[in-house]
Amino acid sequence: MASPRQRWVLASGNAGKLEEMRSLLAALDIELVAQTEFDVPDAEETGIAFVDNALIKARHAAALTGLPAIADDSGLAVDALNGAPGVYSARYAGTHGDDAANNAKLVAALEGLAPEQRGAAFHCCLVATRGASDPVPVIAHGVWRGRVLEAPRGDCGFGYDPLFWVDEENASAAEMGAARKNAISHRARAMRQLVEQLRGDDHNG
């Protein structure tokens, strides 16, 4: 599928995600173009599961550009909130993509909980579709476990990164730096799987 210099559209309007996806996809010899460069508007994310929304976004971008597409649907599932905000992570506080408001709401929701009650997982579902009606899209899923801090720490990354504490790193996702995050994150794990499958595709002709 990923023949040399094939063009793919990255079906995301999130600048933080796009930067990470580009760096994670550097292993594939493909030209990646953000959907915003084609004026593709955000798709309506009506799915119940991450994979539903990733499929919706990939098909939407492929349909409007005529190119193969890669989409990411991701979010934070907090144990004490029974998996919320989950697929609603981007609009947890009401306004889509208002990271500061989302983080403030999360801090308030977990107020008073002890560290061992603050477990959470970042999920990332990636979908690669060869076209809008591809009957066999490639799907990958990565999970990254950590703990929600009582207050933000660090300036790197995006979204919930300043609240996501990773014990083994002794750092929040916003403190560890892009290179480290891109080695161990939910998105890194999903992308390794996706790249593996796309490479397999090449070999299968």
Ligand X SMILES: O=P(O)(O)OP(=O)(O)OP(=O)(O)OC[C@H]1O[C@@H](n2cnc3c(O)ncnc32)[C@H](O)[C@@H]1O
* Residue positions forming the annotated binding site: 12-17, 44, 73-74, 158-161, 181, 186-187
If the CB atoms of residues 99 and 169 are measured against ligand X, the closer one turns out to be 99
Residues in binding site for substrate: 12-17, 74, 158-161, 181, 186-187
Q: Which stretch binds ligand X (CB under 6 A): 22-30, 69-77, 107-115, 196-204?
A: 69-77
| 90 versus 120: smaller Cβ distance to Mg ion | 90
Q: Is 161 in the site for ligand X (CB under 6 A)?
A: yes
Write out the binding residues for Mg(2+): 44, 73
Nearer to ligand X, 156 or 201 (CB): 156
Give catalytic status of residue 29 as yes or no: no
In the complex, what is the shortest distance from the CB of residue 111 to ligand X, in angstroms, rounded to a whole number?
20
3-state per-residue secondary structure call for the chain = CCCCCEEEEEECCCHHHHHHHHHHHHHCCEEEEEHHHHCCCCCCCCCCCHHHHHHHHHHHHHHHHCCCEEEEEEEEEEHHHCCCEHHHHHHCCCCCCCHHHHHHHHHHHCCCCCHHHCEEEEEEEEEEECCCCCCCCEEEEEEEEEEECCCCCCCCCCCCHHHEEEHHHCEECCCCCHHHHHHHCHHHHHHHHHHHHHHHHHHCC
Of 81, 107, 158, 177, which one interacts with ligand X (CB under 6 A)? 158
Among 77, 86, 106, 160, indicate the residue that binds ligand X (CB under 6 A).
160
Is there a contact between 120 and 145 (Cβ–Cβ < 8 Å)?
Answer: yes
Positions that interact with ligand X (CB under 6 A): 12-14, 17, 42, 45, 57, 72-75, 89-90, 97, 99, 102, 122, 157-161, 173, 185, 187
**Positions marked active-site:** 73
